[in-house]
Amino acid sequence: MITPAPRTTHSGFVALAGRPNVGKSTIANAIAGAKVAIVSDKPQTTRRAIRAVATGADWQLVLVDLPGVQRPRDALTERMQRRVERELADADGCLFVVNAEQGIGPGDRFIARLLRSASVPVAIAVNKVDRADRARTAATLQAAAELDVAQEIFPVSARTGSGMGALTDHLRSLLPPGPFYFEPRQHSDLPESVVLAELVREQVLARTREEVPHAVEIEVVELAQVREGLLRIEALLLTETESQKGILIGAGGRMIKAIGVAARRSIERELGIGVHLELSVRVKRHWRADERLLDRLGIE
């Protein structure tokens, strides 16, 4: 009797680099086939290195959705930048995402200089082609090629799925032989409390403006199964000033209620169970410079 040869599997890590708000989180979600990163039009949406996992019959691709690369300004952005550098050093490849609608700017050139010193293959995704006309898309593709950092450039729309198949196939080709790091049905490595906190923060980002989105972080302080099919979540909205707290609560509590209703619906969609969500707002001055708090929140 002939024993079948063991199946060779391929696995590895691909870092997603790019300016804030180019669509890295949407690309990670599209490839993983699940919502593992929140999406917003606000810069600095992604504060943690979120690993999105996509698994096929004999391959597993782990996408590390890096915080938006930017020049460090405080303890928070310094941590984000250090995480970018560490993840690039450990990756098997890098996907550099640029915005077709906005074109190539100084921030993209800054990242390209950083990536030229990386010892991994780099591909470029020109995202949001659904929002740009042909002339703008062509100009961005040409400018992306002139960055001289990648051999492969893919025009894509993570929102509509256009071009994502070819991009995913290319990223799979970068994977070396190796075992699966995650269970095939697992889409992310984030703790449940962090995933839930991020879904609440997504609704804060959707409803606030100016400095408020950047000054808010969410901490889940209690997570309890009330009964089968019902989860109780208590979360704190941390902000830096009393005026920001007032904005988050809103006149007659309308803002915090709207955030809570939308967040509860989003969490219920993701978990497939009922959720009782309690939100409160607390002022924590200069939390972005509080190293111990950043540790507790899982912002490495």
Please give the pLDDT value at position 264: 97
Tell me the CATH architecture of domain 10-173.
3-Layer(aba) Sandwich (3.40)
What ranges do the domains of the chain cover? 10-173, 192-296
CA distance 52 to 28: 6
For the domain 192-296, what is the CATH superfamily, name and number?
K homology (KH) domain (3.30.300.20)
pLDDT of amino acid 255: 97
Whole-angstrom CA distances from 194 to 172, 237, 298 are: 28, 13, 8
Q: Which DSSP helix (H) or strand (E) runs through 220?
A: strand 217-227
* Residue type present at position 286: H
Q: Over its length of 300 residues, how does the chain's per-residue pLDDT go in tens digits?
A: 555 545 799 999 999 998 878 998 899 999 998 888 888 777 667 776 668 999 999 999 999 876 655 566 677 667 766 766 777 888 999 999 999 999 999 989 988 988 887 889 999 999 999 999 999 999 999 999 999 999 899 999 999 999 999 999 999 999 999 999 999 988 888 888 988 999 999 999 999 988 898 899 999 999 999 999 999 999 999 999 999 999 999 999 999 999 999 999 999 998 999 999 999 999 999 898 888 888 888 776
Q: What is the pLDDT of residue 101?
A: 94
